Chain A
């Protein structure tokens, strides 16, 4: 007890300036074990500390308190405490002990899930993420936890706001895989298939030394989203995907590859029978909703192909070509696609004809010019970033050491600094 009291006074005393905080950190590190030993009795001491001023100390105490297993009674009280702590703590002090902060937040997530109220955790976790990140391009371990809570609470829009930011720095590869996988699922929920495809593609092609379950599940969803968005699936992974992924992924997702094949053949009846046959498999992977969307997208694909060949076409012919049951169904599909902006057409109900028109976008408006201009600037910034990174790596001693070792030695002249001619 005395040591704890002493610790408390030290915390209160050394929390004002930055140098004090650093020395406090050393003290706390040494006292960490003793804190953990008395974890059950630390709770009342928390009230003596102010989270906004003594964030580092509070964090250590809190981490020690929550180190034990999560129970339902303690969960509700802890949830309140941690939420308040997260909202009021000071970011700089937190960043001195990131692992502790992360473990506290993970416990928070477990407790929120135990109480089955993920919505309570969304806002605090968002604040936690913002406080832990050193910059918006930094991916922390808390990002995937946050996205998981968003998914479970079904508030996808909040998740999307985090996904808008580009990530360039990663702490742990596993964080990235989970982040991209959950992010992909959120985008699918919001029907932003393009962004979902991008995120899932990142998981599937990320460097990895062994195949992991996240990549396999991500690849299954990738196949389905690719069929919905592009209408086709590229059969091989790009060259920069890791060797492990290229060799193993396809064999682990065989039924999905079969689905992609039968989609490509264009026969709707075959596709539907295949889906019916494998309904349980898709269901056990929780991909049933996506698979149904794939089936409905094949009609769209076929109608879009018709716009390339015909100027006008009767609804009966559309129904026949696309293998729908009646002209009325064809009209419904075409109407839906016109409303979604996927094709440009007019329906003449009197004659039962559809007239396909060209894309009315003329690329002459101010908005278009602005859009192009912004894109150019964005790309220039990106390209500068790439050059900077290239320069950094070429000056990096580790890289130079490795490249130097592997340089081929051609002949004796390579080592001569003086040209041959001038040697006597």
Chain B
């Protein structure tokens, strides 16, 4: 690395060290004590299931717990998650899910957590009664043609189906209320319900369309609703792998969100998803303006200090510690239902960006130092750099003998001459071929014309 000769020793050491010393020497060391006290939920340590589950409510809590149980290796955690899911399901009316969870528990938690057939039968009976009642009410309203009552009838149907896990029917019912919405508040309510059900079903195309529909009635939107819509839009973009758009949406979520959207997403998730997507897709200026200097988002980042640290490390070029945080977070991120299949891609993109950013300011880079900074071997680093160079993301050449990376700036003058000559040749070829073809066509046309005559 070619640093200045007159730079103070400590600065040089810090540059070489690349922040390998770890969390304690990081610039925000003043908050390191608070880190220990608050015990963040998404962190490098093992997930605290109770605290995690407490962030959510409703159906998503149960789904997340089931997902956790399916995907984690630790059987203790698994049973804990299933136990909490069982308790939560007992409070609700979804017998289908209840049976599934019982099957997964498989009697491992003792006699208290086994199939409670009487409870299931009672809930199903109550459900049938309620359904009949709702239907008769709805028919009555329909004959009376009172718009507001019909709307509420369908809404109740939607809620009923949702509570029982019949998501498709719930969605249809909510959508039917559209024809009977009179004020913009009704429309917002319908959109939010539809979005909720679509997210649970995993159909994010609907989410995008209903978000845009809701955003078209701005006068009825209060700040929490705006925040909710932005979260939903961000989730939809994340599923569609449009990380840049997802990051932008998550970063626009205001602090009014609070815990109001716990049926879908927690503020910690907004911070994590937004931070990681931003790191993977933003360039430096955007990262600084929209993430680091963003006061609103800072509130969210306080909830997940490891993500905040890693973004700061990335921006200040302490790549080793940044990658270390990322490694620690990985196991917990794999247990999250929305981001688990994007973790690998996001991590690869962040790593590529780190490599590119590292080489950007230098004319020549010693690959041995770079390999230390990125905690990899020189051969592995060479392979990674080779693929980045072939994709034209780094303009450099590798001196494999001395293991140095040299920046290479294309010679504009030569390139221009080459292009000129090549364009001339292509023009020559194209025009000659064109004249020949025109002659053939004329000949054929004359032949046909003469035959007609």
Residues of A within 8 A of B (CB): 166-171, 173, 176, 198, 201-202, 205-207, 209, 240, 305, 308-314, 317, 351, 353, 358-359, 361-363, 368, 371-372, 375-376, 378-379, 382-383, 385-386, 389, 393, 398
Contact = CB atoms under 8 A, between A and B. Distances in A.
Contacts of B432: 166, 168, 382
Interface stretch (B144-152, B230-238, B421-429): B421-429
A171 B444 CA distance: 10
B390 A309 contact: yes
A309 B386 contact: yes
Interface in B315-370: none
B75 interface: no
Given A207-B444, A309-B398, A363-B414, A168 B433 contact: no
The 6 closest A-B pairs by CB, nearest first: A363-B417, A311-B397, A312-B401, A311-B399, A313-B400, A309-B389
B437 A168 contact: no
A359 B414 contact: yes
A252 B446 CA distance: 31
A310 B398 contact: yes
A171 B424 CA distance: 29
13 contacts: A167-B436, A168-B439, A206-B437, A311-B400, A312-B399, A312-B400, A312-B401, A317-B400, A375-B424, A375-B428, A382-B428, A393-B438, A398-B449
Nearest to A398: B449
Given A173-B444, A309-B389, A379-B427, A205 B439 contact: no
A386 B433 CA distance: 11
A385 B411 CA distance: 36
Contacts of A166: 432
Nearest to A321: B386
A190 to B, nearest CB: 19
Contact of A168 (B397, B402, B436): B436
B431 A308 contact: no
Interface string B402-421: 10001000010110010011
A398 B445 CA distance: 10
B440 interface: yes
Given A309-B389, A372-B421, A353 B401 contact: yes
Given A173-B444, A358-B411, A207 B390 contact: no
Given A168-B436, A205-B433, A378 B428 contact: yes
Contacts of B438: 389, 393
A314 B402 CA distance: 11
A202 B421 CA distance: 22
A313 to B, nearest CB: 5
B117 interface: no
Given A173-B443, A310-B398, 6 more contacts: A173-B440, A207-B441, A311-B400, A313-B400, A313-B401, A359-B414
B435 A168 contact: yes
A313 B434 CA distance: 45
A202 B436 CA distance: 9
A207 B386 contact: no
Contact of A202 (B400, B433, B441, B449): B433
Nearest to A358: B411
A1 to B, nearest CB: 40
A355 B427 CA distance: 35
A403 B247 CA distance: 56
A386 B398 contact: no
B435 A310 contact: no
B429 A198 contact: yes
Given A310-B400, A312-B400, A205 B437 contact: yes
Contacts, number: 98
B435 A385 contact: yes
| Residues of B in contact with A, size category | 35 or more
With most chain B CB atoms within 10 A of its CB, the pick from A201, A386, A393 is: A386
B394 to A, nearest CB: 10
A305 B387 CA distance: 12
A353 B438 CA distance: 54
B133 to A, nearest CB: 64
Contacts of B428: 375, 378-379, 382
B398 A311 contact: yes
Contacts of A379: 424, 427-428
Contacts of A317: 400
B429 A314 contact: no
A77 B406 CA distance: 75
Nearest to B392: A308
Interface string B102-126: 0000000000000000000000000
A168 B431 CA distance: 11
With most chain B CB atoms within 10 A of its CB, the pick from A305, A309, A372, A378 is: A309
A198 B442 CA distance: 22
Contacts of A393: 438, 442
A312 B402 contact: yes
Contact of A375 (B411, B421, B446, B449): B421
A308 B429 CA distance: 28
B431 A382 contact: yes
Contacts of A313: 400-401
Nearest to A378: B428
A181 to B, nearest CB: 15
Nearest to B388: A309
Contacts of B427: 379, 382
Contacts of A382: 427-428, 431-432
B431 A386 contact: yes
Contact of B437 (A207, A314, A361, A383): A207
A83 B444 CA distance: 34
Given A202-B433, A311-B398, A170 B439 contact: yes
Contacts of B434: 240, 386
With most chain A CB atoms within 10 A of its CB, the pick from B386, B401, B432, B446 is: B401
B112 to A, nearest CB: 59
A64 to B, nearest CB: 28
Contacts of A240: 434, 437
Contacts of A314: 400-401
Given A198-B429, A310-B400, A311-B406, A372 B420 contact: yes
Given A309-B397, A310-B398, A313-B400, A176 B390 contact: no
B183 to A, nearest CB: 48
Nearest to A202: B433
Nearest to B405: A311
A317 B449 CA distance: 66
B159 to A, nearest CB: 54
A201 B432 CA distance: 12
B149 to A, nearest CB: 56
Contacts of B402: 312
Contacts of B429: 198
Contacts of B411: 358
Contacts of B443: 170-171, 173
Contacts of A363: 413-414, 417
Contacts of A201: 433
A383 B399 CA distance: 47
B63 to A, nearest CB: 42
A361 B435 contact: no
Nearest to A177: B440
A254 B169 CA distance: 50
Contacts of A375: 421, 424-425, 428
B390 to A, nearest CB: 6
B82 to A, nearest CB: 47
A361 B414 CA distance: 8
A383 B389 contact: no
Contacts of B413: 363
A84 B439 CA distance: 35
A173 B411 CA distance: 46
Contacts of A376: 424
